[in-house]
Amino acid sequence: MITVKEITSKSELKQFVKFPFKLYKNCPYWVAPLTNEELETLDKDINPVFKNADAWYYLAYKDGEIVGRIAVIVNHLEVNNIGKKKVRFGWLDMIDDLDVTQALLAKAYEIGNAQNLEYVEGPVGFSNMEKAGILTKGFEELNTMITWYQYPYYAEHFEKLGFEKQATWVEYKLSIPPTIKEKVAKFSGIVKKRYGLSVIPFNNKKEIIPYVDTMFELLNKTYNTLQTFVPIQQYQIDYYKEKYFKFIHPDYITCIQDKDNNLIAFSIVMPSFSEALKKAKGSMFPFGWYHLWQAQRKNDRAAFYLIGIDPEYQGKGVTAIIFEEMQYLFNSKGIDKVETNPELQENTAVQLLWKDYEPKQHKERSTFRKDL
């Protein structure tokens, strides 16, 4: 018999966070998140997203054993300000048992109906700045620190339960040549001169801080036409700064300004932390910090995380400046392989950015939707 219980205590929340460690114990491709960060993200007293969202967490039991989990989320900005009558669900993990999946999703239906919402969609986080999607391609690839890994049966369960794909993201591997491409360097110089643009140099993390809020403003401008868009609030920006700043290295950030010193574009790249996080096994201690430090210090792989360009400058070749800076960085660090972050399938403008770097699509993931 399957029972689904709403969790109410800190100890149960820890069980919720730790369940995937058991489920994926023998999976060579699953990269564990940092347990404390997961706990903080889900803690309603810590994460400021709960100023505009509600969430319910559930564990599924079968024969006394935990066999699944789900978070059901209502983002009130999305529902009331944007008009999407959607109940979200995320942090969905379960054994290969369709009845378990159905019992967990029933909680999303229940809350959606109680809130007079029209459909359920997931897996997603609290906002569009978090992990999203069920993996449908790339099961023999490590997930990055900003994506979930799932077994193939997850998508199969959704199809059997009458769900349809809603949003689909694609990811690419890029090959970095040993020297800068001549046409990239030439075009970068032309664009800088034509529009009076320049790269902002950073020598340390402290120098980046004054630009962070503007970066998020650019993200809102860059992606506000995409189907998954929910505006990023200032208190979320402050939270993300605190959460991710420790992973940032000034060498991996490119900021571009106009002649009046206004930020018009940026990109954030990081060394790949997948192997390091796998070794850390969800904890910074006793040796997790060392593996992450080593990944920052010496790594032949990197990952594109964020790129934002003011709409006024989109299509004007600004990306050539970004790629020129990134090329010099990658070559100086010995990086020859780069992985893109998930990009919405319809966002062809972003995908065209990689055309000169032998892009190979190696992963695909989708959210699934069902009307209530």
Of the two residues 185 and 348, the one the predictor is more confident about is 185
Mean pLDDT of the chain: 92
Structure confidence by residue, pLDDT tens digits, 29-64: 999 999 999 999 999 999 999 999 999 999 999 999
Which tokens sit at 239? 């939270």
Q: What is the pLDDT of residue 192?
A: 96
Q: Phi/psi of residue 195, each to 5°?
A: -110, 5
Which tokens sit at 234? 């200032």
Q: What is the pLDDT of residue 100?
A: 98
How do strand 253-257 and strand 53-62 relate by DSSP bridges? unpaired
Asked if pLDDT for residue 159 goes beyond 70, the answer is yes
Can you give the length of the chain in residues? Answer: 372
Angle value at C-alpha 231, between 273 and 124, nearest 5 degrees = 50
Tell me the domain boundaries of the chain: 2-170, 174-364
Which tokens sit at 157? 């369960």
SS3 56: strand
Report how far apart, in Å, the C-alpha atoms of 9 and of each of 33, 39, 42, 68 are: 21, 12, 12, 17
Q: In CATH, what class is 174-364?
A: alpha beta
pLDDT bin (cut points 50, 70, 90) of residue 183 is confident
- The answer for 204, left when phi > 0, alpha when psi is -120 to 50, beta otherwise, is beta
Classify the C-alpha dihedral 351-132-275-292 as positive or negative: positive
CB 306 within 8 A of CB 267: yes
What is the distance between the alpha carbons of residues 66 and 347, in angstroms, rounded to a whole number? 39
What is the distance between the alpha carbons of residues 256 and 265, in angstroms, rounded to a whole number? 5
CB 59 within 8 A of CB 68: yes
Structure confidence by residue, pLDDT tens digits, 108-136: 999 999 999 999 999 999 987 789 999 99
Q: What is the pLDDT of residue 58?
A: 98
Q: What is the pLDDT of residue 263?
A: 95
Of the two residues 156 and 245, the one the predictor is more confident about is 156
Which tokens sit at 336? 């020859």
What is the distance between the alpha carbons of residues 14 and 7, in angstroms, rounded to a whole number? 10
pLDDT bin (cut points 50, 70, 90) of residue 236 is confident
Asked if pLDDT for residue 353 goes beyond 80, the answer is no
The residues, ordered by sequence, that sit 6+ positions from 204 with a Cβ below 8 Å of its Cβ are 250
Whether 2-170 shares its CATH topology with 174-364 is answered yes
Tell me what the mean pLDDT of segment 101-105 comes to.
Answer: 98
SS3 283: coil
What is the distance between the alpha carbons of residues 252 and 123, in angstroms, rounded to a whole number? 30
Taking each helix axis from N to C end, the angle separating 182-195 and 318-333, rounded to the nearest 10 degrees, works out to 130
The DSSP code for 357 is: G
Classify the C-alpha dihedral 91-97-102-104 as positive or negative: negative
How do strand 86-94 and strand 119-122 relate by DSSP bridges? parallel
Select the highest-mean-pLDDT range: 160-164, 244-248, 289-293: 160-164
Q: Give the start-end residues of each E strand in 76-207.
A: 86-94, 119-122, 134-137, 164-175, 198-200
Q: Phi/psi of residue 203, each to 5°?
A: -105, -20
The CATH homologous superfamily for domain 2-170 is Gcn5-related N-acetyltransferase (GNAT) (3.40.630.30)
- Exposure string over 18-36, b if 16+ CB within 10 A, otherwise e: bbbeebbeeeebbbbbbbe
Q: Which residues pair with 358 in a beta bridge?
A: none
What is the distance between the alpha carbons of residues 313 and 85, in angstroms, rounded to a whole number? 33
Q: How many CB atoms lie within 10 A of CB 225?
A: 9
| pTM of the predicted structure, to 2 decimals | 0.92
